[in-house]
Amino acid sequence: MARTAIPRRARRRRVHSPPRQLRLKISAYQRRTTMTTYAIIGSGAIGSALAERFHAAGIDAVIANTRGPASLQTITDKFGSTVKAVELEQALQSDVVILAVPYDAVPQVAKRRSAWGGRTIVDATNAIDFPAFKPRDLGGRLSSEIVAELFPGAELVKAFNTLPAAVLAADPVKESGRRVLFLSGNFPEASKKVADLIARLGFAPSYLGSFKDSGSLQHFGQALVALNLLKD
């Protein structure tokens, strides 16, 4: 009687993982492609101070204003290896957009886009009544609440508005500790994102809670504005 041939068991293919060096390259590429992008809007005292801090910390960012990249040469001459000058429309596509413009210029920036979903807006403005240099009368409302309404779909965090520009630009790391930067906002995830950025810039972030919890403490004319603290 003829024997029935029994097929040999299929050999298992051994899958080799990529070499360690290749895995590291893939990991670095994934980090680059998912990296948060930052934009500084405004090239005045606060915008320039932020550009200096981003450059010192080695964090890539773009900077823009309404006058175009050519007007930003003094900034890019100093910090151009990390802070690139771009057109305003390009800057507003960044994940985190820092408003370093005068308070009255914010609506002009907001009108450049009709929707802001998925973006974190950092309000570094102060509502000041010039030339009296007093807090603007906003009918009992917080300036950041008004700013938030101009950016539908965005998550707004208030930060970088309490320190004078010269102090903000200076190295925040001292022998006795790191300079404190206050922030507040209604979106915990966005606030954490900005707090992480503040820490990467060398400051000590101090989260005050939601706009309701923090009230006007962080706004111009109140207790925390121009308060220069160090945290060990």
In whole angstroms, give the CA distance from residue 36 to residue 27.
Answer: 16
Q: Are strands 155-159 and 173-174 parallel, antiparallel or unpaired?
A: unpaired
Partners of 129 in the β-ladder: 134
pLDDT (0 to 100) of residue 64: 98
Q: Which two tokens stand for residue 173?
A: 């790391």
Contact 65, 43 (CB under 8 A): yes
Contact 53, 201 (CB under 8 A): yes
Reduced to 3 states (helix: H, G, I; strand: E, B; else coil), residue 208 is: coil
43 close to 72: Cβ distance less than 8 angstroms: yes
Q: What is the pLDDT of residues 157-207, one digit of tens each?
A: 999 999 999 999 999 999 999 999 999 999 999 999 999 999 999 999 999
Element (H, E) at 62: strand 61-64
Low-confidence ranges of the chain (pLDDT < 50): 6, 10, 15, 24-33
What would the pLDDT profile of 174-185 be if each residue is shown by its tens digit? 999 999 999 999
Rounded to two decimals, the pTM is 0.84
Separation CA 141–CA 120 (nearest Å):
21
